[in-house]
């Protein structure tokens, strides 16, 4: 694999605070290449040798807005037990329903656009039903759970101009921890 030349925006960039726009189909060649590049980057960031070789921070997901492109597109590369990847290509997502149960990442969430340690927990829904389009313009629905549900919510927040740090109470970073399940 060859590392794509992606410029990931830092949290100080105002573009990360803007609402992304709906995508029209068919996708352009540039949009399809961006999706492929994002997936390759995320996969390489999760492979130890590649991460060390290119000095990458590991990431599961990336939104187009993190590249300065204000379109409602995100991808997730989930590494499976056999070291292969399950790729999610999500365009124009819409949350249809979500669980009452809330969860949080025990070691804390991270983000390729936030280059610092952040203390605190981010309340997330344990399960969600999501409608979206794939890269071919086919409408789909999916039920996501646990880590994938968190990743979807994190990326959907990006599309709405929200960073995970915005969801941490600055006065009480571990607020309501006892009302949620750690994963």
pLDDT in tens, 24-41: 999 999 999 999 999 999
pLDDT in tens, 72-112: 999 999 999 999 999 999 999 999 999 999 999 999 999 99
Q: Is residue 86 part of a domain?
A: yes
Count the neighbouring beta carbons within 10 Å of the beta carbon of residue 4. Answer: 14
Query: Residue 96 belongs to what domain range?
Result: 14-182
Q: How many residues does the chain have?
A: 183
Q: Is residue 5 part of a domain?
A: no
Q: Point out which residues pair with 85 in neighbouring strands.
A: 79
Q: Is residue 25 part of a domain?
A: yes
> The pTM is what?
0.96
From the list 30, 31, 101, 155, the catalytic residue is 155
What are φ and ψ of residue 51, in 5° steps? -60, -45
Q: Is residue 142 part of a domain?
A: yes
Number of domains in the chain: 1
Q: Is residue 134 part of a domain?
A: yes
Dist. CA 122–CA 128, nearest whole Å: 16
Q: Is residue 2 part of a domain?
A: no
Q: Say which CATH number the domain at 175 has.
A: 3.90.45.10
Q: Is residue 129 part of a domain?
A: yes
For this structure, is 182 an active site residue? Answer: no
Let me know: does 7 contact 15? Beta carbons within 8 Å: no
């Amino acid at each position: 694999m060859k590392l794509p030349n992606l410029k990931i925006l830092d949290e100080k960039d105002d573009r990360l605070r803007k609402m992304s726009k709906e995508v029209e189909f068919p996708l352009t060649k540039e949009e399809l290449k961006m999706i492929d590049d994002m997936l390759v980057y995320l996969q390489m960031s999760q492979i130890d040798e590649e991460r060390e070789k290119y000095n990458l921070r590991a990431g599961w997901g990336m939104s187009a807005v993190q590249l300065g492109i204000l379109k409602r597109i995100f991808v997730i590369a989930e590494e499976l037990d056999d070291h292969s990847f399950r790729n999610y290509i999500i365009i124009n997502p819409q949350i249809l329903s979500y669980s009452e149960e809330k969860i949080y990442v025990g070691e804390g969430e991270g983000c390729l656009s936030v280059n610092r340690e952040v203390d605190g927990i981010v309340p997330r829904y344990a399960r969600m039903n999501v409608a979206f389009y794939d890269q071919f313009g086919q409408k789909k629905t999916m039920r996501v759970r646990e880590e994938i549900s968190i990743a979807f919510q994190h990326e959907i927040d990006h599309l709405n101009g929200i960073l995970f740090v915005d969801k941490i109470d600055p006065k009480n970073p571990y607020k309501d921890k006892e009302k949620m399940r750690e994963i």
